[in-house]
Amino acid sequence: MHEGYKLRIPELIALKRDGKELTDEQISFLIDSISTNKMQPEQIGAFLMATYIQGMSTKETTKLTESMRDSGIKFEWKNKQNIVDKHSTGGVGDKISIPLAPVLASLGLKVPMIAGRGLEHTGGTIDKLESIKGFKTKLNPEEIIKIVNKIGCVITTQTEEMIPADRILYAIRDLTSTVASLPLITASILSKKAAEGISSLVLDVKVGSAAFMKDIDSASELAKSMVKTGNEMGIKTTALLTEMNNPLGFMSGNALEIIESIQLLKGDGPDDCRELIIAQGAQLLLSSGLETSEDKAKTEIKNKLKNGSALKKFKQMIVAQGVEEKFAEKICNEPRVLIKSCKYNSQLFLEESGYISSIDAMEIAQFILDNGGGRTFMEQSINHNIGVELHVKKGDFYDKKKPWATIYYDDEIDVLKQLKNCVNISQTAIQKKDRILRKII
Catalytic sites, residue numbers:
87, 166, 173, 188, 192
Separation between Cα atoms, residue 153 and residue 314, nearest integer Å: 9
Burial (CB < 10 A; 0-12, 13-18, 19+), residue 259, is buried
Non-local (6+) Cβ contacts of 61 within 8 A are 182, 183, 186, 187, 225, 229
Instruction: State how far the Cα of 243 lies from the Cα of 251, in Å rounded to an integer.
Output: 16
**Is the backbone of residue 289 left (phi > 0), alpha (psi -120 to 50) or beta?**
left
* C-alpha closest to that of 272 among 249, 300, 297: 249
Residue type, 172: I
Amino acid at 272: D
Q: Are 314 and 332 in contact (CB under 8 A)?
A: yes
CA–CA separation, 405 vs 396, rounded Å? 13
Q: How far is CA 59 from CA 32, 65, 225, 292, 353, in A?
A: 18, 10, 11, 31, 55
Q: Using the 8-state DSSP alphabet, how is residue 357 labeled?
A: E
Q: What angle do CA 390, 346, 359 make, to 5 degrees?
A: 30
**Distance, C-alpha 122 to centroid of its chain:** 9
| 241, burial (CB in 10 Å: exposed 0-12, middle 13-18, buried 19+) | buried
